[in-house]
Every structure is written in C-alpha cells, then in structure tokens.
Amino acid sequence: MARRLYEEIVNEGRLELLDDFLAEDASRSTGSGTFGRDSFASHVIDLRKNVTDLKTTVTDIVAEGDRVVVFWRIQGVHSGEVWGVPGTGNTIDGTSISLVTFRDGKVVDYVVTPDRLTILQQLGAIPA
C-alpha cells in the first residue's frame, strides 16, 4: 500500500484512488505543519504541476506493525514554484523519508522529511 501511494497516486496522478488509500481522519505533516486529508490531493496536484516529468521511486521500505518507513527518490524538472522558488527549468533529483501510519489498511498519518537542502541547491536558491 505504501509503495502504491508513490507509484499510482504521485507518479500516475490517480487522485480518484485517494479514498481507497486514506482514512477519513488522515493527516499529512511537513516542516510547515500538519494538514488534513484534503491536503494530500492538493499536494499531489501542486507537485505534478510544478515538477514536470515527475517520477518518484521507492528505494527501501521498513515496516513494523502499522508503521511503515519509506525511503524514496524524486526526480523531474522544476517548472513551477517549489518552496517559494519560481520555476528554473533545473533538474531535481532528491531523496525523502516518509513515516506512514496505517489503520484498517488505510493511511491515518503521513509525515515526510525531504532533503530540502539538496533540492534547493539544485534550484540555485542556496549555494552548493
């Protein structure tokens, strides 16, 4: 299920599957705060709009009980605003770690920690 989040929802943009993946009370946490279930769809839409040729690849998964740690890679072309940086046309190739908590086969909590430093350096927003 965790792998399918990246393959089917993020890579393929199949937002109609969100009801199958997310519990009604699901939340998504980032460095900017915690957001409700609706933020999943808006996040995927924004990501797919602002990073063309988007591809996420799950590189490793560790699971214990209802919690899954997903190590993943994001690649694409920075075509729109990402973390306040207007589109540059630069290639993005970064990593992230997500902690996904499930209940009854659906996501109830999703916490993502992206390697913002590397990506912002690739965008030219921070000196390498």
Q: For residue range 74-119, what is the model confidence (pLDDT) as tens digits?
A: 999 999 999 999 999 999 999 999 999 999 999 999 999 999 999 9
pLDDT of residue 101: 95
128 confidence band (pLDDT: 50, 70, 90): confident
Torsion of CA 77, 54, 113, 107, to 10 degrees: 160
pLDDT computed for residue 15 by the predictor: 93
Of the pLDDT bands very low, low, confident and very high (cuts 50, 70, 90), residue 35 is confident
Smallest CA-to-CA distance from 73 within 55, 87, 91 is with 55
Longest CA–CA separation in the chain, Å? 45
Phi/psi at 39 (5° precision)? -70, -20
- Asked if the model's pLDDT at residue 29 lies above 90, the reply is no
Residue with the bigger pLDDT between 45 and 33: it is 45
pLDDT tops 90 at residue 63 = yes
Cα gap 125→54, rounded to integer Å: 20
Question: What's the CA angle centered on 15, arms 48 and 22, to 5 degrees?
Answer: 120
Q: What's at 79, amino acid-wise?
A: S
User: Looking at residue 10, what DSSP letter applies?
Assistant: I
Q: Where are the beta strands (DSSP E) in 2-42?
A: 22-30, 33-35
In this prediction, residue 32 carries a pLDDT of: 74
